[in-house]
């Protein structure tokens, strides 16, 4: 069974450590993006919208804490710190900056992978209470990024999953277009309503019994969008 594999950004200036982490993650079928500096890290985070950040605190052009703080200004992506800094105060500073977890170097491969899996499970924020969505006759596992219809597996793109996750965090409530764009695309395209409409149209074609008269992903004119769940199938 195929699924939209999670994408992880590894922010680490030590080539040998970065290579080891990349190989470990790729062996588990994660897609890996790499950055060796704080400046590059923010560029990659904004352009790729990864599902998880692994951040080294000691970067050549700045502190990893600043990377975390800047990313937290526009994203709630899970962040795991990888650092040789073992002092309790340093761990607290990383968590206060917005990190979700802290792995001290040197680390074992099983420990790192376990922390990655745990962070990704927490990554479906808000929808973690209901990782299974039932939209019509389609069941969607937001944690595993798998969708099943009565006809079999249904393919959703990583972008479509991000939009669904954003709607699911506030299921039943209105989510503004600007919030959806920021959470799915990032803060650099605040007026990109055209691509949002295209994404929602594609989701409706895949999930709604009648995409011309949507029952589950509905538009609230002038306000935004609402995900209705738990309706009769």
Domains and CATH numbers, the chain: 7-123 (3.40.50.2300), 127-227 (1.10.10.10)
Cα angle 204-208-211, degrees, rounded to a multiple of 5: 60
pLDDT, mean over the chain:
86
For the residues 29-35, what does the mean pLDDT come to?
A: 95
Q: How far apart are CA 2 and CA 11, in angstroms?
A: 27
Q: Decide if 202 contacts 154 (C-beta within 8 A).
A: no
pTM of the model as a whole: 0.61
Quote the pLDDT of residue 189: 67
Q: How far apart are CA 21 and CA 13, in angstroms?
A: 12
Quote the pLDDT of residue 4: 55
Quote the pLDDT of residue 96: 82
Residue 27: how many other CB atoms lie within 10 Å: 10
**38 exposure class (CB count in 10 Å sphere: 0-12, 13-18, 19+):** buried
Asked whether residue 79 carries a pLDDT value surpassing 50, the answer given is yes
Q: How far apart are CA 193 and CA 189, in angstroms?
A: 9
Asked whether residue 148 carries a pLDDT value surpassing 90, the answer given is yes
3-class SS at 154?
coil
211-216: Cβ within 8 A, 24+ apart: 215/136, 216/135, 216/136
Q: Are strands 146-149 and 138-141 parallel, antiparallel or unpaired?
A: antiparallel
Q: Are strands 52-56 and 79-83 parallel, antiparallel or unpaired?
A: parallel
The DSSP bridge partners found for residue 9 are 33, 53
Quote the pLDDT of residue 175: 85
Asked whether residue 187 carries a pLDDT value surpassing 80, the answer given is no
Cis link prior to 12 (omega < 30° from 0)? no
Query: Which residue is it, tokens 């691509």?
Result: 195
């Amino acid at each position: 069974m195929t699924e939209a594999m999670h994408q992880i950004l590894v922010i680490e200036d030590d080539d040998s450590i970065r290579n080891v982490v990349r190989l470990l993650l790729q062996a588990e079928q994660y897609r890996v993006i790499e950055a060796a500096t704080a400046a590059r890290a923010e560029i990659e985070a904004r352009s790729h919208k990864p599902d998880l950040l692994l951040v080294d605190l000691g970067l050549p052009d700045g502190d990893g804490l600043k990377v975390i703080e800047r990313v937290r200004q526009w994203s709630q992506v899970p962040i795991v710190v990888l650092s040789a800094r073992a002092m309790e105060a340093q761990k607290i500073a990383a968590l206060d900056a917005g990190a979700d977890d802290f792995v001290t170097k040197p680390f074992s491969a099983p420990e790192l992978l376990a922390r990655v899996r745990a962070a990704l499970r927490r990554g479906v924020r808000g929808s973690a209470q209901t990782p299974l969505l039932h939209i019509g006759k389609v069941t969607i596992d937001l944690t595993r990024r798998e969708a099943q219809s009565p006809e079999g597996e249904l393919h959703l793109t990583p972008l479509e999953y991000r939009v669904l996750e954003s709607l699911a965090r506030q299921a039943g409530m209105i989510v503004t277009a600007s919030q959806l764009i920021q959470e799915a695309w990032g803060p650099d395209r605040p007026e990109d309503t055209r691509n949002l409409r295209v994404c929602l149209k594609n989701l409706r074609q895949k999930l709604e019994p009648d995409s011309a008269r949507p029952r589950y992903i509905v538009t609230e004119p002038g306000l935004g969008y609402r995900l209705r769940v738990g309706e009769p199938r």
